Amino acid sequence: MADAANAGPTPPGTHKDPVTGEMISKTELKRREKQRAKEAAAAAKAASAPQPAAGSAKAAAEKEDDLNPNQYFELRSRQIQKLRQTRDPDPYPHKFNITKSLTHYVEEYGPEGIIKPGEKLKDVTVSLAGRIHNIRASGQKLRFYDLHGEGTKVQIMAQAQDAASAEEFLSTHSHFRRGDIVGVTGCPSRTQKGELSISPSSMVLLAPNLHQLPKEHFGLKDQEQRYRKRYLDLIMSDDTRRIFITRSRIINYIRKFLDNLGFLEVETPMMGILAGGATAKPFVTHHNDLKLDLFLRIAPELYLKELIVGGLDRVYEIGRVFRNEGIDLTHNPEFSICEFYMAYADMYDLMDMTESLVTGLVQHLTGGTKITYHPDGKEPKIGPDGKEIKPRELVLDFQRPWKRYDMIETLEEKLGVKFPPGDQLHTPEANKFLSDLAEKHNVECGHPRTTARLLDKLTGEFIEPLCVSPAFIVGHPQIMSPLAKYHRSRPGLCERFEGFMCGKEFCNSYTELNDPFDQRERFEEQMKQKAAGDDEAQGIDETFVNALEHGLPPTGGWGLGIDRLVMFLTDSTNIKEVLLFPAMKPETGGPAAPTVVPSTEPAH
């Protein structure tokens, strides 16, 4: 926890509620404490009252369900505090030996015929562990629990007659609540209705849940709370779990694909004196010992190309980059990318590799080459007439080859105009032509209205929406790509492609610029754009230019936005759905400065 000294001064005349964390008046705090003391006394009295006869467990559960979250937390906390003092049992034991995972248990004993309805395998003993989601009591000597873990469920059918100590059955099961993590030892069984279960001889509390678990029927519906409390979202939602398992499978597939082609995975610095390798606004941090401001990286590109110069002919990195830009449905300030660089390859080789990688990945995940994506979300909406409107569906076909759109030629076709020659796009006349074109078609472009930014906005308006199934946009002008090599047959253009699907970019690739004289000129042009007010333009990286002066072989470079790709392949419309811990605004204002949490990691 953060040190209290870092929390900032308490506003005059206010006090912090120890339960809710709110800043309230002294009078209001006293009123709440008095009310809580009254509720605590009533709860303690109810807890110490003798157990009613049949149905007591069900009645007690219903009574607890009627408590508000704060009341439940206080009651449950007192119960667990008492167990912590008496150690009868210890509510936080050190270890529980499991003999099977829930998944393996279902695989081994779930198939029909292994256990007949109403029977038990009394000569088999297994130990399972998981989280209780539902509790159902049928009298005092029979309890049913739904034990969840690893994305699956096993029913616990606890009967007093099966318990190691029938006398302690009631007291043992009085400790369990929804959300608790428990260990179960018993024999595989099946109910009369045929549901796979475990009949326990013993159950032990491994970690109590002090808070009310949301009802399974309703789940955790508050989207913001799902993102802020991802642990609770994962507890309650199998769909959320599926998304992040799929994300892991996607990253694993990409890594294996590159490894099999002889690529070497490397790591490059997260902080540097310059922010290069992409056109984006960086985050700034400060190194105290060096007394130096540093940038969090916006891309690992320049470091990776320096490794190609050094003779590591095929390198890749999968990791985080940071861009100090807006947050929306498809952008998060820190996100995951994969970049690779391949000596003696060009953009045409890499287009073939991209098709092979992504189409193979889709086949690996789905068994086919088509997926369905809901760009407006999967939930139906209610129209003005009160009728339900089915969500819009897009069918994405990953079958090779993918469609290719030439940027200038497609814009000329869509807008009915002839663009200036590629080698004239850097002139003021070309800039005015594009600016007038954007105004004519109501395409917004904020200042600075550079030629590169105007072309990007026009492409976003007229070409990107055409790319529903995966497609490539090619034929970029050089002024849009300061790190790409000039086109071998089209003056003024460069060898670059961008991969799009559902109208959104997911990858970017160049035949890399390896001429140090040309590279220096392009960096200088970027410096002019930065001086004109473009915060995203790059500076001159003298170390990188020096590396090029030692000789960079003809090289193809490629970058993939992993989060964006995961969104499309998991049918998610919000990038927060595919990030375990997305960037969120503070709920009620944050501290004046970031607090430092003491590390429990070993020194390095």
Closest CA to 272 of 232, 249, 299, 245: 299
> How many Cβ atoms from other residues are within 10 Å of residue 25's Cβ?
11
Worst-scoring range by mean pLDDT, 21-25, 80-84, 271-275? 21-25
Per-residue pLDDT tens digits for 374-385: 999 988 888 888
Percentage of the chain modeled with pLDDT above 90: 71
Query: What's the average model confidence in pLDDT over 7-28?
Result: 64
Higher pLDDT, 63 or 572: 572
Please determine, for residue 9, whether its predicted confidence score (pLDDT) is greater than 60. no
Max Cα distance, the chain (Å)? 92
For residue 195, give every residue at least 6 positions away whose Cβ sits within 8 Å of its Cβ, in sequence order, or none: 155
The pLDDT value recorded for residue 482 is 76
The beta strands (E) that lie in 402-454 are given as 403-406
Rg, C-alpha atoms of the chain = 31
CA angle 23, 29, 30 (to 5 degrees): 165
pTM: 0.85
The amino acid present at 23, given as its one-letter code, is M
Predicted confidence band at 481 (pLDDT cuts at 50, 70, 90)?
Answer: confident
Please determine, for residue 13, whether its predicted confidence score (pLDDT) is greater than 60. no
CA dist 45 and 37 (Å) reads 12
Query: What's the average model confidence in pLDDT over 436-458?
Result: 93
Question: Is residue 129 a contact partner of residue 184, using CB atoms and an 8 Å limit?
Answer: yes
Q: Kind of pairing, strands 142-149 and 196-207?
A: unpaired
Query: What's the average model confidence in pLDDT over 283-306?
Result: 94
Ramachandran region, residue 550 (left: φ > 0; alpha: ψ -120 to 50; beta: rest): alpha
Per-residue pLDDT tens digits for 500-558: 999 999 999 999 999 999 889 888 887 887 787 777 677 788 999 999 999 999 999 99
Per-residue pLDDT tens digits for 294-304: 999 999 999 99
Query: What's the average model confidence in pLDDT over 316-322?
Result: 97
Q: What is the secondary structure of 487-533 as a DSSP string?
A: PSSSTTBBSEEEEEETTEEEEEEEEBP--HHHHHHHHHHHHHHHHTT
Higher pLDDT, 223 or 12: 223
Distances (CA, A) of 591 to 10, 285, 334, 594: 11, 18, 21, 7
Given the structure tokens 């086949």, which residue do they identify? 363
Per-residue pLDDT tens digits for 44-76: 555 554 444 444 556 666 678 788 999 999 999
Please determine, for residue 11, whether its predicted confidence score (pLDDT) is greater than 70. no
- The distance of Cα 141 from the centroid of its chain, to the nearest Å, equals 44
